[in-house]
Structure 1
Amino acid sequence: MAGPRVLYVTGWCRSGTTVIGNLLNELDGVVHVGELHYLWRNGVIGDGTNTLCGCAERVLDCPLWSKVLGLIGGADVLASARRWAEAQDLLVRTRHTVRRLRAGQSPAARELAARMTGLYAAIAEVSGAHTIVDSSKFPAEAALLAGPDLRVLHVVRDPRAVACSWLRPKDYLPAMSPARSTVHWTGFNAASELVCLRNPAASMRLRYEDFVRDPRGSLADVLGLLGLRAEPPIGADGLATLGVNHTVTGNPDRFAQGRIRVRPDDRWRRDLPRRARATATAFALPLLGRYGYPVA
């Protein structure tokens, strides 16, 4: 790929990727676009979980996305969105990661990669950003985007904390069982490992627990990965100020603005039922030790 630098965030949901992206969004020349994978299904077609941009406008009415879609959508944005969503289903689901990592790509995969490169270029043109943070968390998409301007941030969180978070519905996001959540956790993280192994110098792993313990130091490491010489937009006390963002979808926390504090969230140790904890531990067992999470 060529054009703006892209930080593609992989991992599984409820791991802090939204707040990480929105903090980076506060830097000059950096724009966090949220889970860009869902621009078409949620923002344009409107059959996903939410049609609002992080600025609280409908994606189609947002001053940034309306211009981006005008640049790349062609005369019929809705038809273009349907073709794009169909290609995503066929080519970049998590189970497609190994295939996307192979050297020879199909014409359809090369076409989707070219479309994504064009989308990033349009976002950079409209926003004026030199760095785009895409927190879509689809490892196969990151595999499709191989190139010198791509950086991969693999964010991981204790699967029991993730399972506990998914037990609670959140605005437009329904609840999920511990078994289903942890199956996704294992699959997405294993696939992310494969993507990072392809180019370790352009990738890094960040544990949620390390981020909330030292958000300023963790963001400094991410900025190093991006080659950006900037001060992390958060204090040593975990306090930061968030402005307006243009995330197309993601955790409902993306709408937060003003003063926030990044702090550890260990409620799962108290709130996660014993049976759910055992289920999450069993399903995630192959990767627990790799990420430094105890079995007990």
Structure 2
Amino acid sequence: MAGPRVLYVTGWCRSGTTMIGNLLNELDGVVHVGELRYLWRNGVLGDGTNTSCGCAEPVVDCPLWSKVLGLTGGADVLATARLWAEAQDLLVRTRHTARRLAARQSPAACELAARMAELYAAIAAVSGAHTIVDSSKFPAEAALLSGTDLRILHVVRDPRAVAHSWLRPKDYIPAMSPARSTVYWTGFNAASELVCLRNPATSMRLRYEDFVRDPRGGLADILRLLGLRAEPPIGADGLATLGVNHTVTGNPDRFAQGRVRVRPDDRWRRDLPRRAGATATALAFPLLGRYGYPVRTAAVA
């Protein structure tokens, strides 16, 4: 029996991927699992930023994840979690992306790929979903999933806006300097480019700025990539209603429920310190033009 279709979201954090995933989660047969990579480290081992599911229950007590862990964790869930975390560190960090794209993989990489496929299958079995949205954003994981029914969504946002967002801590996520956030932005997006170039027919790029300007159109493009005939779960005015989700971890905004509005956020143009903006521009310069971002930015009133 064929496994579920997986939409793997790549790129760097603070680019709108949580909102995109949670909107898709409102469609019948689609489940957004958040940053699934951290299921074992954060959710089971408690060695991370947050141990709560998007439904507000601890991951290990969540009605969905407790069943998934029962199917995939074996007799000793903690031991399994440690093995997963070790394999992820050794095999699918961003710097491993080119290696994971190679035709021949090590036995350890093949084993991890098989485990990931089993995990997706367990999620589909428990949730009843035919499509899983995984917003982990690790390009090397996407590269490893060649045996999966995979679609890749590469989301990018202006690095100055990302740097501005990272200046502010969010609940369990600490702040990050503009230099560090932009180094990550450059590395994760460059690695995502490699994966998408290898999979041109099953991947797409979506700029955050284009999505928030026309969220309905952006979601329609994603649905076409997934081969789903469904109406985007958002109005032309950017208003949507979010229900409960089962995201493993991610941006604290994942807990939002009820009526939400997707709208542009250009505060960074006014509020980002000049030195921080210059740092982000310099470090991201090799990719700015590729994504249509100007070197010089105009302030907003």
| Amino acid aligned to 1:250 | G
Residues 10-54 of structure 1: CA distance to partner in whole angstroms, max 9, x if unpaired? 000000000000000000000000000000000000010000000
Q: For the Cα contact (< 8 Å) 1:241–1:259, is it kept in 2?
A: yes
Contact 2:151 2:226 (C-alpha < 8 Å) held by counterparts: yes
Q: Distance in 2 between matches of 1:199 and 1:38?
A: 25
Give unpaired runs (5+ residues) of structure 1: none
Output the CA distance in 2 between the equivalents of 1:146 and 1:276.
39
Structure 1 stretches of 4+ with a deviation exceeding 3 A read none
Pairwise mapping of residues 112-131 of structure 1 onto structure 2 (< 5 A)? 112-131=112-131
Matched residues in 2 for 1:12 and 1:68: separation?
Answer: 27
- Using the size of structure 1 for normalisation, the TM-score is 0.99
Q: Quick one: structure 1 residues 283 and 2, their matched pair in 2 at CA, closer, same or farther if it must change by over 3 Å?
A: farther
Q: In the alignment, which residue of structure 1 is the partner of 2:217?
A: 217
- In the alignment, what sits opposite 1:165? 165
Q: Deviations over 1:240-292 (max 9, x none)?
A: 00000000000000000000000000010011000000000000000000000
Bigger mean CA deviation after superposition, 29-38 or 140-149: 140-149
One-letter code of the match for 1:156?
A: V
Task: Provide the C-alpha distance between the structure 1 equivalents of 2:196 and 2:151, rounded to a whole number of angstroms.
Answer: 9
**Residue in 2 aligned with 1:3?**
3
- Once the two structures are superposed, residues 121-174 of structure 1 have per-residue CA deviations (whole angstroms, 9 ceiling, x without a partner) of 000000000000000000000000014610000000000000000000000000
Q: Provide the rounded CA distance (Å) in 1 between the counterparts of 2:157 and 2:110.
A: 32
Is 2:89 the counterpart of 1:89?
Answer: yes
Does the Cα contact within 8 Å between 1:2 and 1:117 map onto a contact in 2? no
Match of 2:299 in 1: none
Which SS does the other structure have where 1:33 is aligned? strand
Cα distance in 1 for residues equivalent to 2:289 and 2:55: 40
1:38-53 superposed matches below 5 A: 38-53=38-53
Any idea what the Cα deviations from partners look like across 1:59-102, whole Å, max 9, x if unmatched?
00000000000001011001000000000000000000000000
Percent identity between the aligned chains? 90
Which letter maps to 1:206? L
Partner amino acid, structure 2, of 1:75: A
Instruction: Provide the residue aligned with 1:143 in structure 2.
Output: 143
- The AA in structure 1 aligned to 2:4 is P
| Distance in 2 between residues matched to 1:245 and 1:175, nearest whole Å | 25
**How many angstroms apart in 1 are the aligned matches of 2:54 and 2:199?**
32
Counterpart amino acid of 1:149? D
Shift of 1:199: 1.2
Per-residue CA deviations over 1:219-238 (Å, capped at 9, x if unaligned) read: 00000000000000000000
- 2:48 matches 1:54: no
Q: Who is 2:274 aligned against? A: 274
Q: For this pair of structures, how many residues does the alignment match?
A: 296
CA contact (8 A) 2:3 2:148 kept: no
Quick one: distance in 2 between partners of 1:191 and 1:147?
20
- The secondary structure found in structure 2 opposite 1:152 is strand
- Contact 2:185-2:284 at 8 Å conserved across structures: yes
CA RMSD, aligned part only? 0.9
Q: Which amino acid aligns with 2:265?
A: D
* TM-score for both structures, normalised by structure 2: 0.98
| Distance in 2 of aligned mates of 1:188 and 1:72 | 29
Within 2, Cα distance between the matches of 1:139 and 1:72? 23
Q: What is aligned with 2:180?
A: 180
Other structure's SS at 2:152 match: strand
In the alignment, structure 2 segments of 5+ residues that lack a partner are 297-301
Greater Cα shift, 22-31 or 145-154: 145-154
Q: 1:45, 1:290 → 2: CA distance? A: 39
Give the whole-Å Cα distance in 2 for the aligned partners of 1:2 and 1:89. Answer: 29
User: Aligned-pair distance for 1:2?
Assistant: 4.9
Q: CA deviation at 1:182?
A: 0.2
Structure 1 residue matching 2:132: 3-state secondary structure = strand
